[in-house]
Amino acid sequence: MGTLEGRTGGVETVTVRPSAQGSLAKTPFAHLLLYLQARRLSGTLAIWASDGKSGQDRILFEQGLLTAMRPVEPAKTLYAALMPLFAREDGPYGFYDGQNLLGQSGILREPIDIHTLLSRGVRVHVQEALVDSVLERVRGRQLKLRSDFPLERLELNQRELVLIEPLRGVGASVDTLVAAGALPVRDAKRTLYLLTLVKAVEASEGRGTVPIDGSIPVDVESFRPGSHSVLPRSDSVAPRSILPPISGATPLSGAPRPANENALPSSPPPGLPAADEARWHELIALHKRIDALTHYELLGVPTSASGQEAQTAYFALVKKYHPDRLPASFAPLARVAQAMFERMTEANETLNHAEQRADYDKQVQGGGGTREAERLMRNVLESAVEFQKAEVHLRRRDFAQALDFVRSALAKNPDEADYHALLAWILHLTHTGPDAPFDDILRALDKALKANARHERAHYYRGVILKRLKRDNEAVRHFRAAAELNPHNVDAAREVRLASMRRDSKPPAAGQNVLSRLFNKK
């Protein structure tokens, strides 16, 4: 969707138009965040001020996760920079799919928890009419707190916890909780709105509870990737047919790309000078392992290096690898060089900012500080949430959903014994006939026990499956292992006891009387 527009420093600057746009008057910032997260979109969200001031707050998303921001007004932390946007009731926004529009300076980066961010933002400001409209959807229904929701991430205070305490038991309605007086009406509604927004509560339906309809009120018609709909009218912003293009776009590394775009040239162009050919190979080699490097390793400095030393190393790398300094023959590596430059700049800025460096050093000391570690941690956290969802759906006997969630958890974290064991159990419950996929079930349990040989549930599940297959001697060994690992596993203990009773009730073999069998019993 971009066009070339002029040159900056000898480099063509790409301008792009929004792939989707709308107005905060129709889509509040909190709802916009949840929309982007739910759809795991990657790109830049640009938000213009409603009073016509120049510039935009630009927020970068990668697979729905808020990762960085370049705010119009300086701020010390990313959380602090985002707070004013919750109070903004109007102003146009544009989403630039697959584009990083943050530039190179004034960027704030830190891990952002969407639930914590929403909780803090709702405390700053929330439209009362919006609160009422959301709560109206669940008014009159009994609400219950989801047992699998990480409530601590909402940073609720003591009075708010008192307000929602009834939701842990039999449940309560919005009106009952508001009338209880644990909080002023406005604060009580705000808290319940937050719980509803982040899907922390379920609503009664029939004899059980079901998730509240989590559809996020978003102007979906205007927020459709690839669309260029007319910007909604508002009193404070003159209507425009389309948001103005923004320059300086670079493709976002985490955004979807054509299948062949990530393929690197297998060899440099013929006729390169020896020095350039060496630089070509160095650039490709560095690119291949960049996600496994810390900022220190990328810049080639020790962790004890001063900020000035880090900056000196940074400038040396810029002279060598900056896209502007590469000869024309390096055009096939332009994307690689640009990504390298962004990462080197990020490393330099982090190591020259005292607070950011202190936080980053803690990550490095804990074995993190690399993109690879970030992805691994993200996968671990996301898989844990999906595993919890699988367990919830299993308790509801919604086997199809449970199977989807546990498979998704395994795709992100294939080394977790719990996930393999639960997959096997769900397959067992959903295939009760002789045509059950026993090979797949046993293979999943093998993986669980390989990851953790003392996994009680895997031993018990394997015993159940082997018993179905009439392999009783093997089954009882696993039942016994489960009972020894957990003496409170009454099901495993019962199976061991029944197996012992069956063995003792068998008639003696030929030539063996009862007394000799007892004395020879092991």
Of the ranges 71-80, 250-259, 264-273, the best mean pLDDT one: 71-80
- Model confidence pLDDT, tens digit, residues 396-427: 999 988 998 899 888 888 889 999 999 999 99
Calpha distance 405→410 (Å, rounded) = 9
Residue 14 has φ and ψ, to the nearest 5°, of -85, 130
Q: Is 467 left (phi over 0), alpha (psi -120 to 50) or beta?
A: alpha
Average pLDDT, the chain: 80
Of the ranges 2-11, 407-416, 481-490, 495-504, which one carries the lowest mean pLDDT score?
2-11
pLDDT of residue 512: 55
- Model confidence pLDDT, tens digit, residues 362-394: 888 888 888 888 877 777 888 888 899 999 999
Tell whether the model's pLDDT for residue 455 goes beyond 90: yes
Q: By C-alpha distance, which of 100, 99, 57 is closest to 80?
A: 57
Residue 300 has φ and ψ, to the nearest 5°, of 75, 35
- Model confidence pLDDT, tens digit, residues 144-188: 888 778 888 888 888 888 888 888 877 888 899 988 888 899 999
Cα 81 → chain centroid: 21
pLDDT of residue 227: 35
- Model confidence pLDDT, tens digit, residues 94-152: 888 888 888 777 889 887 888 899 999 988 788 888 888 888 888 778 888 887 788 88
Helix, strand, coil shares of the chain, percent, nearest 5, are 50, 10, 35
Of the ranges 77-91, 244-258, 259-273, the best mean pLDDT one: 77-91
- Model confidence pLDDT, tens digit, residues 13-22: 445 678 888 8
308-320 residues labelled b (16+ CB within 10 A) or e (exposed): eebbebbeebbee
Helix (H/G/I), strand (E/B), else coil: 291: helix
pTM of the model: 0.45
pLDDT of residue 3: 28
How many C-beta neighbours within 10 Å does residue 509 have? 8
pLDDT of residue 522: 44
pLDDT of residue 223: 47
Calpha distance 148→389 (Å, rounded) = 7
pLDDT of residue 204: 61
Q: What angle do CA 370, 373, 376 make, to 5 degrees?
A: 150
